[in-house]
Chain A
């Protein structure tokens, strides 16, 4: 299929493109920018006038729930939600059921991906078998099967010797480790940030040190082993500072932040709003400001959705017993665009955090639109004011605290390898 995307404002931070440019696609690739190649005859034309055309978004953390928790979400429903959110590549942690610690599970995910072909799915393999933190998983075989990195998901590795050996082994193979900093004991019973709100509501708190103690150990072990590591969804000011200092010292590390941690704080829990029950917890205003600062100075490499869809009942109950997590694929872009509206970032910077920079973390092709690149594209209307309605979400999980929020900027088209996988005009009003 040959396609022309005409009249759009093309923003590709990787290639430093920021202006009105037509885009020409053929055979799933970008073939030209600006002027049509000789003899190019489009079979399809997309009018992108007054819209932003950018590389398809790359999300470093999204749980699709399949296999094993299909009552929460399936690859079919969640890739539809991703396409609606402008996401063309997403990375799923290994804590599915079955856990991604054998090639068979990787194959199953690849099979489903091919079945629906809406979004590219890049799995992370398990770091330890069954995520038990005891025996190393077959990282090499998992990489061969298609995993782009290894991780122990939200399951902490309590034994520092196992963590050291996991790092050494991953470093041997040149595999990137995706780490969730979480001390196994501090805040073990907690369900929200240990601070003003936990004191008032009598909720068991998760202290900032639950993140930073674990982070400190892992930074020291990374220094010792030299493994390439990425820290997922950091939430505290001190963690940002620690990563920043470690980067200055030359450690091979990167980090991401979730879109929702950039906008919510512990105070949004209000009177026990279970939609704000997340791990790591929503922290203080000071922490949130430090996350913004970490974006401004480049400590972070990516903004992710940390998509965790749940069935309706999972959020129905007293706050501590509800399941943590937000269904975030469809709010990743609008929440990120808010950062331009409050002057935290420029539009090009936001797009970089959602495209080329996560691509670099994953070490994959993509995240930019030079001729020859895969035609994974997101087109959005930056002027569109709209109200986010959970009942209109494509994700099976409608667990979101953002219902009723007013956003500016909405996806109109998503293309995966030149093929339209989402068009807002096709949506039932």
Chain B
């Protein structure tokens, strides 16, 4: 099967999923992001790499953080950016996804950054855009959120150097988490020593072990000796079904507290893709504590998104000063 994300030379055409990308390509994304990471601290926070290009942030689902970091990334590359919250516009009037897309294509866009509530939506769009248009997946259903995974990888690499000796635990609603799926693929591709998932069975996909993870239902056992703890947002709407009895019980069993974190390695870092539900999946003392790198993740998000935008548009990027 041909890889929709790559062109015939193996270069990135679209950025839809971590699956299908090899370690070299992921490392190049991280290195490219490194080269962009200082731009935010400069007096003029812009480089002219995408000058004259038009990028449309096509968000069928609400998101403040992801939308703003993609917008900022595009602007720092000097692209023209248009944000479309499609939830409140044409699709409400019955227009199909494809018709929305074609109307936008007629405005001669160069890139779509797509967020959608259905798994596979970004693939569908990538299959239907003209050959000169790139698509970046900003989160589709429960499937994939590759830029979030890569910013997490950048954060981990900055703190831990490399992946093979690491033990990483992902805690929470794995079943509905596109972030978790992408992180698992990214960690595995980068050769992480051990990937653990910690959750009750109701929040784990069946056959999740086929993704190459070790399953823990007991959080204390799962955290023992880990270098990285990634806590996931508990989607409150999941509480209404029969998946969990209460927030109180969830916090007691799976909430990240200082006491539970003490089981991890002393220099362990704590991550969270945000937004945080304090007192449900993580306590404030941990979210704001010395192990937390949550705000760094946000900063890295801009650099990663600049990197994938430049790479999918196949713009040569200056070498990173500290590329690893």
Which A residues lie at the B interface, using CB under 8 A? 194-196, 198-205, 207, 270-272, 313, 316-321
Contacts and interface: CB of A to CB of B under 8 A. Distances in A.
Contacts of A201: 119-120, 143
Given A316-B98, A318-B141, A321-B118, A272 B181 contact: no
Contacts of B140: 202, 318
Contacts of A203: 119-120, 141-143
Contact of A202 (B98, B119, B206): B119
Contacts of A194: 206-207
6 contacts: A195-B206, A196-B210, A198-B206, A202-B143, A318-B141, A320-B119
B284 interface: no
Contact of B19 (A195, A200, A313, A317): A200
Given A202-B181, A272-B123, A317 B141 contact: no
Contacts of B47: none
Given A196-B207, A200-B210, A317-B96, 16 more contacts: A195-B206, A195-B207, A202-B142, A202-B143, A203-B142, A204-B142, A205-B205, A205-B206, A271-B1, A271-B120, A272-B124, A317-B97, A317-B118, A317-B124, A318-B118, A320-B141
Given A270-B1, A318-B124, A318-B141, A199 B210 contact: yes
B193 to A, nearest CB: 22
B211 interface: yes
Interface residues of B, number: 26
A204 B243 CA distance: 14
A200 B184 CA distance: 10
A202 B141 contact: yes
A207 B210 CA distance: 16
Nearest to A319: B120
Contacts of B123: 271-272
Most buried by A among B1, B120, B121: B120
B121 A199 contact: no
A316 B100 CA distance: 13
B116 interface: yes
Count chain B CB atoms within 10 A of each CB in A195, A198, A202, A272 and give the residue with the most.
A202
Contacts of A207: 206
Contacts of B118: 317-321
A271 B4 contact: yes
Given A202-B143, A272-B124, A318 B119 contact: yes
Contacts of B207: 194-196, 198-199
B205 A198 contact: yes
B208 interface: yes
Nearest to B180: A202
Interface of B: 1, 4, 19, 96-98, 116, 118-121, 123-124, 140-144, 178, 181, 205-208, 210-211
A319 B124 CA distance: 8
Contacts of B143: 201-203
Contacts of A270: 1
A199 B184 CA distance: 12
A92 B98 CA distance: 33
A121 to B, nearest CB: 33
B120 A318 contact: yes
B218 to A, nearest CB: 21
A149 B245 CA distance: 45
A399 B79 CA distance: 40
Contacts of B121: 317-318
Nearest to A191: B119
B34 to A, nearest CB: 29
A193 to B, nearest CB: 10
Which 8 A-B pairs rank lowest in CB-CB distance, beginning with the nearest?
A272-B120, A202-B142, A202-B143, A318-B118, A318-B121, A199-B205, A319-B120, A196-B210
A148 B141 CA distance: 43
Nearest to A316: B98
Nearest to A194: B206
A320 B120 CA distance: 8
A203 B143 CA distance: 7
Contacts of B97: 317-318
Contacts of B98: 316-317
Contacts of A198: 205-207
A319 to B, nearest CB: 4
A200 B119 contact: no
Contacts of B119: 201-203, 272, 318-320
A271 B121 CA distance: 11
A289 B210 CA distance: 20
Contacts of B144: 202
Nearest to A269: B120
Contacts of A202: 119, 140-144, 178, 181
Contacts of A318: 97, 116, 118-121, 124, 140-141
Nearest to B128: A316
Contacts of A196: 207, 210
A204 B117 CA distance: 12
A66 to B, nearest CB: 25
B142 to A, nearest CB: 3
Most buried by A among B96, B142, B208: B142
A199 B175 CA distance: 8
A316 B127 CA distance: 11
Nearest to B210: A196
B51 to A, nearest CB: 33
Contacts of A205: 205-206
A200 B210 CA distance: 8
A199 B178 CA distance: 11
Contacts of A319: 118-120, 124
